[in-house]
């Protein structure tokens, strides 16, 4: 079995590590587009063009499934990719609004994501479908992906966002960008048990099993 993982930057490596753990017999191939990272502040047309170009090595490798390990690309481009490559199985990542809505007791959740994800039609539809009765806090994480790529994100950046979420009484925090997986432990430390952190690693593996009938 061959699993492809694409992300604009280093976020995909965190997803790939999880997949290698869950599917030890699989060959997990990763590609990124570090030249153009981050994608989160680019316009939709450019995101689609860059993503299409970047996944070509995975398409050429005959992957059984390609994980689009980028919430921004999933939100903006995955339907275009599925239409253009109908014989290729794709798995996208989206902010986990549905599970967060069932976990929240305060009725307030927070979504940490890029501007492109937050502005996307898919995310808007997800909120309308699963969070219509909730308050959704969207803190400014617009520079996080860039800072993580350059290893410049410090604890003060994290604390500022966490404090905003907790001050709003959010009890579930969604990591809506795979770059943020690299700082999951730091976010959990800052939360200090005051909110639940939700990210999609387990859901991705479940979807791989479903698509490939494992």
Query: What's residue 90's pLDDT?
Result: 97
Band (pLDDT 50/70/90 cuts) for residue 5 is very high
Which top CATH class is 97-198? alpha beta
- Residue 28's pLDDT is 97
Instruction: Give pLDDT, residue 56.
Output: 97
Instruction: Note the pLDDT of residue 178.
Output: 86
Domain with CATH 3.40.50.1860 in the chain: 2-93+201-211, 97-198
**Active-site residues: which are they?**
70, 177
Question: Domain 2-93+201-211 adopts which CATH fold?
Answer: Rossmann fold (3.40.50)
The answer for residues whose C-beta is within 8 angstroms of residue 128's C-beta and 6 or more apart is: none
At 37-53, the pLDDT tens digits run 888 889 999 999 999 99
For 98-144, write each residue's pLDDT tens digit. Answer: 999 999 999 999 999 989 889 998 899 999 999 999 999 999 998 88
| pLDDT for the residue 50 | 96
- Position 9 confidence tier, pLDDT thresholds 50, 70, 90: confident
pLDDT value of residue 71 = 85
Q: The sheet that has 27-32: what strands, in order across it?
A: 27-32, 2-7, 65-68, 90-92
4-41 core/surface letters (b: 16 or more CB in 10 A; e: else): bbbbbbbbbbbbbebbeebbeebebbbbbbeebbbbbe
Is the pLDDT assigned to residue 3 strictly greater than 90? yes
What are 131-177's pLDDT values in tens digits? 999 999 999 998 888 888 888 888 888 999 999 999 999 999 999 98
* pLDDT beyond 90 at 11: no
Give DSSP secondary structure letters for 15-75. HHHHHHHH-TTSEEEEEE-TTT---TTS-HHHHHHHHHHHTHHHHHTT-SEEEE--HHHHH
pLDDT over 90 (residue 65): yes
């Amino acid at each position: 079995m061959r699993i492809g993982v694409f992300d604009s930057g280093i976020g995909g490596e965190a997803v790939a590590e999880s997949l290698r753990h869950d599917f030890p017999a699989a060959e997990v191939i990763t590609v990124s587009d570090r030249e153009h990272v981050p994608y989160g502040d680019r316009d939709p047309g450019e995101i689609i063009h860059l993503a299409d170009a970047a996944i070509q090595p995975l398409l050429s490798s005959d992957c059984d499934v390609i994980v689009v390990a980028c919430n921004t690309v999933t939100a903006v481009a995955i339907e275009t990719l599925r239409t253009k490559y109908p014989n290729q199985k794709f798995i996208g990542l989206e902010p986990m609004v549905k599970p967060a809505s069932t976990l929240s007791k305060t009725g307030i959740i927070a979504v940490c994501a890029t501007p492109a994800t937050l502005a996307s039609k898919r995310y808007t539809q997800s909120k309308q479908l699963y969070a219509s009765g909730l308050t959704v806090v969207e803190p400014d994480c617009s520079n996080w992906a860039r800072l993580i790529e350059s290893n410049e994100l410090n604890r003060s950046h994290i604390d500022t966002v966490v404090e905003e979420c907790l001050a709003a009484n959010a009890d579930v925090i969604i990591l809506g960008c795979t770059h943020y997986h690299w700082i999951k432990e730091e976010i959990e430390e800052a939360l200090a048990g005051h909110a639940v952190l939700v990210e999609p690693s387990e859901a991705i593996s479940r979807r791989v099993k479903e698509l490939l009938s494992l």
